[in-house]
Structure 1
Amino acid sequence: MEASQSPKAAPQSPEDEEDDYMSMTIAEPTGPKVKETYTQRRHRLKREAEARAYTKPKAEREADEAAAREDALQRSLLSHPTTQKSKGLAMMSKMGFTPGKALGKGDNADARTEPVGISIKEDRGGIGMDNEKKRRFREEVEKEGKRVKADEGEYRERVRREREEGRLEHLIGTAMRVAERMASEKEEELSAGGDGEVAPKKDDRISKPLKTINILWRGLVRKREEAERDRRMRYDLHQSLSRLPTYDDEDEDKDDKKALGKTPIQYALVEDLEEEDPELEEFNALEPVERLQKIVNYLREEYNYCFWCKYTYPDKDMEGCPGLTEEDHD
């Protein structure tokens, strides 16, 4: 009897002997469920009640609302699933609107392809208030720009006018001195009697009242007299302060005191310097151009002298003089 031969099992490789952890299943515990104690249940219910009763602070609620609002504003309503059932979109579709396309002709590149976005107002201003504020701001900026330009123009004009007035005042002073000199020379000739003798020169500052001087150069004489008076007063004050005190000698007479310099110098003051001169004030109130023209005309009529040519012509015709004004001599 042949012994029965059992099939031999195939040898297993080392890889097959390793456990396949990826296909392993973890069995659920079959043991009895641990019963929750009273204390554990009480703590759990307490935590759940506290969670339900918890109210977020105002700042946290506002932050959550702002985040939700920003998320909603950033999300396109046309692509949102809930928008497909929107009555507004259905109405726009009936009017010819297709998402992603503009209304009207398709050749307009600047046409709007989406509805106007939502602008959240954060103040109490009504509709259009922002545009009104922008308009007012632009008007204020333009007004300020115009004012600055106007101020610059006024400044340049004022500087130009002041320079021109200074130049004219200098010309008026020169013309006054010329007229005074010619009038003085003419008076000397008349006082000589035409016999060729030159009369001794008089001091007009002392002997001649101001109101008898021609109005055209009276202001020059008055200014010179005032300057001379102030100079004399300063000189007298300086002399009185620098002179040493001396005793009064009874034996000295007036001639001795005068020789020793103890007699104060007496000057002939021009009394009418303190008086008002309405005629001179009226003349000085004229424009510099008008005052200068009056003096120029006087020199031409009285002495055949052209102030602009700096020349005395032999007769009244003044042949060769281009004209009466400075522009004629340019």
Structure 2
Amino acid sequence: MAVTDEEEDDDYMSDAFLNIETTNNVRPGLLMTHEQKRLHDQMKKKNECERLNKTVGIKALEEQRRQEGLEKAIDSKNKGFALLQKMGYKPGSGIGKNNCGRVEPVSIVLKSDRKGLGRVAALKEINEMKKSILRSRLRPVGPSINEYRERRAQEASEKLDRLDLLRSQRVCRQMDLENDIQEPSEHYFWPNDSTDNLSEQNAEEMEEHKEENIMSITEQFKILNFYLRRTYNYCVYCGTVYNDQNDLEECPGPNRQDH
């Protein structure tokens, strides 16, 4: 029996429709081509990621994947590890010529706050500076024939340091608050509320009647000046915030005499 052109077209469209349905609804056990297997794997990974995102928070998921990566040992597929093996490194032994170096990789420390990168190191050095100052006070000091002149010169220097300290305290408080630091690292790093709105001359007179602090004005200013330079690359004498420590080297120096 002869087949008309219309019947041939109907059969062709029917076969094409069946092929499309088969491609879109292939079960894992019936994958026939590499392309179908690739699309199926992509869809499976996508569904798994969507399921994890719904059940686990993003931060928790990142932590989980990070931990999985850290627990997974590095193999020879890693280029750095392959180079170490070519140079004679054996897994489990220390690095170096005599295998006495580090065995475990450097640990990862995540930074989640907005504090300056040099702040922690600066505070450690400040603690050492304070200990050094206190130790020097315990040492016996013999009399000097220039004691009077030295005392007068020290008083004049402290007056200038007192003014510089007040300016530095205001700058330190502003920069700390901008970096989400809600309280000073040392009580004298920020100005007192009672003297913040006073003139520098009145603040100087008020300071003279206070009880003597453990740290003198000069010592307080020295430590605060160090904190500002190390943490925020700020020079109180230049009145400038430099871009970084290398840029800060353009400053004449950390002392008043340098300027």
Which of these two proteins has the greater Rg computed from alpha carbons? Answer: 1
Same structural fold, with TM-score higher than 0.5 when normalized by the shorter chain: no
Structure with the bigger RCO (C-alpha within 8 Å, sep 6+) is 2
TM-score (norm 2): 0.31
TM-score (norm 1): 0.25
